[in-house]
Amino acid sequence: MKPTPEERAATLLRELSLDEKIRQVTSDMYFDVGSDYAARRDPLCGSYRNPGHFMHYKRKTPASPAEVTEQINRDVRESIEAQPHRIPPIENGEALHGAQWGMGTNFPQPIGLASSFDPALVGRVADAIGKECAAVGVRQVFAPVINLVRDCRWGRTVETFGEDVKLTGDLGAAMCRGFEQNGVIATPKHFADNYSFGGRDSNYAETSERTMRETILPPFRACFDAGAQSVMAAYNGWDGLPCSANKHLLTDILRTDWGFKGFVVSDYCGVEGIHTAHRLADSDAKAAAMALKAGLDVILPFNQFDTVKEAIRNGSLTEQDLDRNVLRVLTAKFRLGLFDAPYRDGAAAGALVRCKAHRALALEAAREAIVLLKNDGVLPLQKEHIKRIGVFGQSAKLIPIGSNYSGPYGTPWQGDDAPTPLQALQECFGSTAEVIFGESEEIETLVPTCDVNLYFTSILEGEGSDRSSLRLPSVAVHQANPQDGGLIVDTAEQTVTEDQEDAILRLCRADENAVIVLQNGAPIDMTAWVNQTKAVIESWYPGEQGARALTEILFGVTNPSGKLPITIPKSVGQLPLFYAHKPSGRGDAYCDNDGKPLFPFGFGLSYTSFAIDGAALTVTDDGAEVSCRVTNTGGFDGAEVVQLYLASHDCAVVRPVKELKAYARVFLKQGESQNITLHLAKDTFCYYDAAMQYGLHNGGHTLLLGTSSDDVRARFELSVNGATLFAETVKE
């Protein structure tokens, strides 16, 4: 019988020297893949940041997929030939919304993908990304981001699937399956609770064990249940220890409670941070020992061989400790098939990357990502009546991909057939209408000469770009200059050339039907101008084909169907604000603000209308089902997202005011109806009691059926008594 990956790893481990073992928990990264790269590269590490991410730096034209593949093949071959036991390395990289080793297909940022409420679509996107990673030899990716947003000032909100436990878990699991089915290790991050008060990245988490178990951890577990073979420990500390050296997180919960069989990697320089940032160890060697003993397995991104060797030498780490880490890494390599097929085909990579099917998928994803927030009879625009379009706002001249994890190091993402919004509009109209870009100072003179006027907002977001304000940046009040953009994310500055809020107000005074298009990765404070405009589109950063999708929506070729995966507050003073909070003892309002959001979680308009009727509840042996009929009652084909929330009461502990538990995206032609059924497993009604025991405890439960967290069309009552689920009276 053929030995299993675990058996092959155990056999190999017994043959390794101490130095070989240490190499397997180390990694390395080289920023300049230039003429002396091969001489500088140490071939003995267990994993590497793939060189493709850096090959485009300082070149006149980007490296092709075939060139990247051949470089990775050379690196892998050099490592195998240098190893006494011919152990192949893992070549890793980023894949937040596209294969980031170079110019791979660029999909919507995750916050936009989440607006689709479509796990099947996200799975297809991840499948395409996984194929474009595997094609060149990148076999581990540091994605998806599974952290929940509780304060949208966090610069990395754009990387997330928003604020909801259920949606984040579903989409994270779909993304992990898409990667893993292509032989690419998914690495959900950052484990766990990666930011804190004020939306500050990587601050110490004061989160209780209860909150961790109820909200922060379940999306991670969904990813592991979906097959993710790795996880990245967070920079921050929790419960007295840095996450990178937190045995309760990395061993007790991850491995003992959940049975996780994969390996844990550090965030970049996170292990050194145990010494330098958290001040918990007096040397890097002791920090490395703490991390490896706690359950972390691979130290990223730079070679820490000497550091780990010193930890063995000074006795803070034993070889027996190290064996556990190495066994997990070797097992993953055997599971991947690296020993049996370590090389890739450059010609095949060239044919696959940004192929026609992947670009079409990028357009499809962008269509579902865009959310219509406001429309007082302005949209869709009537193309046949338009002869001149005024376009304002500097982001109209940029491919709408966002600056965060959107290209290789030191080089902007480039791709043929990827237009800016301005170019997409010009492409749409050709010679039939004039599309003009106007500067802010031209608004009063140019707007009256145009049939349609559009404004595209600008803001710099991402790692190292936490905000203290949600207002649009202005040349008068704001210049973004990230203090720490991360090791492989460019710390690009943004210079805003105008006062955007003033420009929007002036535009709306000049044209009451002007359309405002948001290009951003987190909620914007719109209170200064939202009541002065009739149409607002939240496009997020919709990716390389996003400008085309946006143009289709503007002119009714595509009906908007995105739903908000995050609550949009009225102002920064309401933060933290999320819909699934626990009840206040007195109320949620302020003396100058009712506490309600500007736009609620799950909200999104359409050009058509939908009716939901015939709702019914059935208790089953496995849980419960809610069925209903959805009908398109308007004048456009379109999609609706039917959402089912749970509001619990009379339980053993305080429960959230409501939580999303099921949803279904339904596409219907005009006049068409469809019956749908939303399934609720029994664990939908489970919770942790006062003794932190998880189970089907007694309590009452109201099911709320609607099209957003604030729009309820039908409700049902259930109760749990003696671990048995009962249906009660229906409330219309």
- Per-residue pLDDT tens digits for 397-444: 999 999 889 989 888 999 989 999 999 999 999 999 999 999 999 999
SS3 527: coil
* Residue in the block written with tokens 């559009």: 454
Q: Which of 519, 546, 574 is the last residue of a domain?
A: 574
- How far apart (Å, rounded) are the C-alpha atoms in residues 112 and 539? 8
Which is nearest to 142 in space by CA: 181, 105, 107, 90?
Answer: 90
Mean pLDDT of 68-97: 97
Return the number of other C-beta atoms located less than 10 Å from residue 453's C-beta. 25
Looking at residue 491, its pLDDT comes to 52
Same domain, 459 and 367: yes
- How far apart (Å, rounded) are the C-alpha atoms in residues 143 and 430? 40
658 domain residue, yes or no: yes
Mean pLDDT of 711-718: 96
**36 or 288, higher pLDDT:** 288
- How far apart (Å, rounded) are the C-alpha atoms in residues 139 and 44? 18
Phi, psi of 446 (to 5 degrees): -85, -40
DSSP 264-298: EEPPTTHHHHHHHTS---SSHHHHHHHHHHHT--B
- How far apart (Å, rounded) are the C-alpha atoms in residues 155 and 402? 12
Same domain, 546 and 635: no
Indicate the burial class of 128 (C-beta count within 10 angstroms; 0-12, 13-18, 19 or more): buried
CATH number, residue 365: 3.40.50.1700
Task: Look at strands 90-93 and 140-141 and give their pairing.
Answer: parallel
Which is nearest to 122 in space by CA: 186, 68, 53, 183?
Answer: 186
Q: Which of 521, 546, 574 is the last residue of a domain?
A: 574
**Tell me, what DSSP letter sits at residue 480?**
B
594 domain residue, yes or no: no
703 domain residue, yes or no: yes
Are 659 and 646 spatial neighbours (Cβ–Cβ below 8 Å)? yes
Same domain, 617 and 518: no
Are 276 and 243 spatial neighbours (Cβ–Cβ below 8 Å)? no
Same domain, 514 and 384: yes
Query: What average pLDDT does the structure give for the chain?
Result: 95
pTM of this structure:
0.96
Same domain, 522 and 384: yes
Same domain, 525 and 671: no
* Residue in the block written with tokens 């920079």: 235
Same domain, 368 and 473: yes
Looking at residue 58, its pLDDT comes to 85
270 domain residue, yes or no: no
Same domain, 559 and 701: no
7 domain residue, yes or no: no
pLDDT tens-digit series, residues 331-346 = 999 999 999 999 999 9
Domain range for 442: 359-574
Q: How confident is the model at residue 57 (pLDDT cuts 50, 70, 90)?
A: confident
CATH number, residue 618: 2.60.40.10
Looking at residue 587, its pLDDT comes to 85
Looking at residue 107, its pLDDT comes to 98
The set of residues, in sequence order, having a beta carbon less than 8 Å from that of 301 and lying 6+ positions away, is: 27, 28, 29, 49, 268, 269, 487
Same domain, 428 and 493: yes
DSSP 313-332: HTTSS-HHHHHHHHHHHHHH
Looking at residue 29, its pLDDT comes to 95
Return the number of other C-beta atoms located less than 10 Å from residue 560's C-beta. 32
- Please report the sign of the dihedral spanned by the C-alpha atoms of residue 136, residue 142, residue 148, residue 153: negative
pLDDT tens-digit series, residues 146-197 = 999 999 999 999 999 999 999 999 999 999 999 999 999 999 999 999 987 7
Q: How confident is the model at residue 729 (pLDDT cuts 50, 70, 90)?
A: low
Phi, psi of 213 (to 5 degrees): -70, -35
The set of residues, in sequence order, having a beta carbon less than 8 Å from that of 651 and lying 6+ positions away, is: 687, 697, 698, 699, 700
- In 511-628, where does DSSP find H-type helix? 546-554
Q: Which residues of 7-35 are buried (b: 16+ CB within 10 A; e: fewer)?
A: ebbeebbeebeeebbbbbbbbbbbeebee
Q: How many domains does the chain have?
A: 2
Apex 325 CA angle, 321 and 326, nearest 5: 110
Distance from chain centroid for Cα 536? 23
Task: Look at strands 623-632 and 673-681 and give their pairing.
Answer: antiparallel
Looking at residue 460, its pLDDT comes to 82
273 domain residue, yes or no: no
- How far apart (Å, rounded) are the C-alpha atoms in residues 670 and 678? 23
**Tell me, what DSSP letter sits at residue 682?**
G
Are 148 and 168 spatial neighbours (Cβ–Cβ below 8 Å)? yes
